[in-house]
A and B are shown apart, each in its own frame.
Chain A
Amino acid sequence: MRGEEAAAAEARCPRSPELHDLSDDSDYAAAAAASSNHTVMRSDLADKGSVETARVDVVYEKEGVTIHPMQYGSGRISGILRLYLQQGSLFLSWEPNEEVDSFSTSSVTMEIEKYRNLYTVKGLPLSDVRFIRKHSPAFNIGVEYIIIVLSSGLAYPPFYFYNSGLRELFASLKKHVFIIRSDDDPNVFLVNDFQDPLQKSLSSLELPGVASVANAMSRQNSFSFTGSVDEARHVTPSSMTEYVSKQKHKSNDPGRDLSIQVLEKFSLVTKFARDTTSSLFRENHNIGARTYGRQQQKHVLDNRANDKYTDHPITPDKGSLPSDSIESDNLPLVWGKQRDNPLSVEEWSNFLDPEGRVMDSKALRKKVFYGGVDHVLRKEVWKFLLGYHEYDSTYAEREYLAVVKRAEYEAIKSQWKSISPTQAKRFTKFRERKGLIDKDVVRTDRSVPYYEGDDNQNVVVLRDILLTYSFYNFDLGYCQGMSDFLAPILYVMEDEPESFWCFTILMERLGANFNRDQSGMHAQLLALSKLVELLDPPLHNYFRQNDCLNYFFCFRWVLIQFKREFSFDQIMLLWEVLWTHYLSEHFHLYLCIAILKRYRSRIIGEQMDFDTLLKFINELSGQINLDRALQDAEALCSVAGDNGAACIPPGTPPSMPIETDGGLYVQEDEVL
């Protein structure tokens, strides 16, 4: 069966000479020639979970479409790329061949075997595609490939067309979806790019913007406002082409600049594609069916628990309940590098010279960024990451520093320790601050064994450090959220003065989160908004239309750097990753975007308003896959590159604040 199909595909898609100019007319003609003999087959391509065996029309099929999963040039997985129509929508699939490509050596073969299924693309709806970039090698040396970029801004690995067939692919695409060449880059083909206002309104009639030939034609008909449906059926291919090319010139495509900017970074992404051992592709790829069925599933999904307060007006059919977690958007999108193992004791010792200097701090930060730190090393390594120890300090210097800093801490602590009850009576601000801190330390991480139980001495230490800090930095004082930052630090350091100094240095960067005028928070949320605008314009537009651009729904994420979203163990890992400032000082903002992108189709699909979104984001606590979010964020950060950095004004926390004459913290009078 497979062989016959391949032969048929070969017949439909004869090898063509190298093409530099992909003319619309000739593409259409090629597709028209092929269209008369669609293969019809049973739905073995369809979602395995699907009950019905919907009819699948394969409109394009090509063998020898290959990906290169690893850095070894010899490692290839060859497979079959197909386009097929199902229930009026166009899908793309890529399935690896059974046998590993003979180019591979046996050791590489073993490696590749692991990735075979990771890269399978089961049923990608073309409505999820933002654009496809075609790479034609110069002077016909090398192999043509395409990169498919989804509307979320993320990309599949390059598909190399060893047996040609790219021209026919585009011809087929043109026939079934709205696709236009970017005005700025002739190798970029925008998919479903309805920017013309009239076109937008038309596309909204037939979401998701992917249509069968018949649908496309009737859409064409409504566009020109001529004649009956009968007439529409007789629209000729050439008039269709005319319409498409007109649209191409009309399109003003405000998102185009971004696309191009993102593409400038693509060499980087392609490199990831070679390096990666991404596990993302083992996820369920049938996001299309989910997206379209989501409106119907909404009540079902929300109703998954046997909640006695369930309030949904519609009684769902429990039998159709998907049993997955709240994180239902398993988008197979991302090209971040796979997470590494934590820095081990042995690796750490290799970073140090005989006198204890870190020889290659950048390599160290990179290692920690990708893998974190073995817990037994945290006490030592965090001091470097936070900046309490200089990387080029020696063991002896650090020991000396500890002694000096211990004394300095005790001196500051004695400032409030020496306040007598009589003096306190006349010192309202002190009483209030102490009262607030007393109340909050007993409400911080008490479920962690280190802090649990009555009369826990560690809770008292938390209190003492925070109160001392509020004297050390009297202008900033104490604010809720600080105890969330301090608790893991004290847990790791197990030493009061060292915890104090590490916390103090952290607050040099993050203290602005607690400014009374919330300026630090607003700066970060604004930068976040700009980054989403850059990396996911549709999501940005959604937030804009729904009055959510203040990003207050990410307030808790940003204020205490996800402390409440992950377990205590996970947060230690996340923070040490953030503290490396390896790709960006503002990596936490990319993490926000990575998480939002994971859930974007639920957010948009369920038309969440501000209240609903806030509640939804709140309830993601404990549900987020940290490794995957980090991987996604890394890819986003790399793709955004300098354009991303340009979204973040200087001085935005956790960058060091820009000092002014009036002190670091501009505060109004009534600071606690």
Chain B
Amino acid sequence: MSYAYLFKYIIIGDTGVGKSCLLLQFTDKRFQPVHDLTIGVEFGARMITIDNKPIKLQIWDTAGQESFRSITRSYYRGAAGALLVYDITRRETFNHLASWLEDARQHANANMTVMLIGNKCDLSHRRAVSYEEGEQFAKEHGLVFMEASAKTAQNVEEAFIKTAGTIYKKIQDGVFDVSNESYGIKVGYAVPNTSGGGAGSSSQGGGCCS
């Protein structure tokens, strides 16, 4: 199955906030609490449809521990979207958002779409960060915001797809030159030349990004 576009996503945030679980819930529609902690980076992929066009999301799931920041920074290059995740039951993961955002701003493309996700909303009885605080932070920093649960799958699908929708709209608005892969977008064969005419040349890379 071919795709019209491939978007590179990166998932960032403190260790243990549920980045890998969000990814697994999105790609495999299951919740697996027992999995190995992420060292370096792991990959996932899924096809979605926006505006009747097949779009492939290639998702980079990064290690969250502070020590690995210097290597995580090298993964930002060429990401079209980022999911910045915190854990609503652990205040400190919310407090660290600004430093994550600073990393993203410094090392990613300026047009990268960032979605803020307050994960583990199924544990609202242990909530340490209110919905409003999350919303406020997102508003201040120009992010899209959602609370989600990798465990119950609530809003997981929506978070990934809404981010893709935002990126797609940026393409339609001409914000991205899709022939330039540093924006984290590759053009597949399925779409007739839209902007930039990159279909033929950029699709080459699509073959190895299963």
Contact = CB atoms under 8 A, between A and B. Distances in A.
Contact of A480 (B47, B67, B92, B189): B67
A612 B77 contact: no
A436 B15 contact: yes
Interface of A: 298-299, 302-303, 307-314, 432, 436, 439-440, 442-446, 479-481, 483-484, 514-518, 521, 550, 552, 555-556, 559-560, 564, 606, 608-612, 614-616, 618-619, 670, 672
A303 B188 CA distance: 16
B209 A313 contact: no
Of B40, B189, B205, most A-chain CB atoms within 10 Å: B40
A311 B67 contact: no
Q: Contact size class for B?
A: 35 or more
A309 B209 contact: no
A669 to B, nearest CB: 12
Nearest to A313: B189
B110 interface: no
Contact of A311 (B42, B66, B68, B209): B209
A672 B66 contact: yes
A520 to B, nearest CB: 11
A309 B47 contact: yes
Contacts of A299: 207
Nearest to A479: B67
Contacts, number: 115
Contacts of A559: 39-40
Interface in B175-199: 188-190
Contacts of B8: 611
17 contacts: A308-B1, A309-B45, A311-B3, A311-B56, A436-B65, A443-B34, A446-B36, A516-B66, A518-B67, A518-B71, A555-B40, A564-B39, A606-B208, A611-B8, A612-B209, A615-B43, A672-B65
B37 A444 contact: yes
A69 B208 CA distance: 41
A480 B206 contact: no
Contacts of B67: 479-480, 514-516, 518
A618 B37 contact: no
A619 B58 CA distance: 14
Contacts of A308: 1
A552 B71 contact: yes
Contacts of A302: 207-208, 210
Nearest to A617: B40
Given A311-B188, A446-B34, A552-B71, A481 B208 contact: no
Nearest to A432: B92
A667 B160 CA distance: 37
A440 B39 CA distance: 11
B46 interface: yes
A361 B56 CA distance: 56
A550 B39 contact: no
* CB-based closest 6 A-B pairs: A313-B189, A443-B37, A556-B40, A439-B16, A480-B65, A311-B3
B144 interface: no
Nearest to A440: B37
A480 B40 CA distance: 10
A303 B206 CA distance: 12
Nearest to A451: B34
A303 B2 CA distance: 12
Given A309-B47, A309-B56, A436-B16, 10 more contacts: A312-B206, A313-B189, A313-B206, A439-B37, A480-B63, A516-B66, A521-B71, A555-B40, A556-B40, A564-B36
B78 interface: yes
Of B37, B188, B189, B209, most A-chain CB atoms within 10 Å: B37
A302 B39 CA distance: 25
A571 to B, nearest CB: 13
A608 to B, nearest CB: 7
B91 to A, nearest CB: 12
B4 to A, nearest CB: 10
Given A518-B70, A612-B208, A479 B36 contact: no
B210 A307 contact: yes
B35 interface: yes
B116 interface: no
Interface string B56-91: 100000010111101100100110000000000000
B114 interface: no
Contacts of B36: 443-446, 564
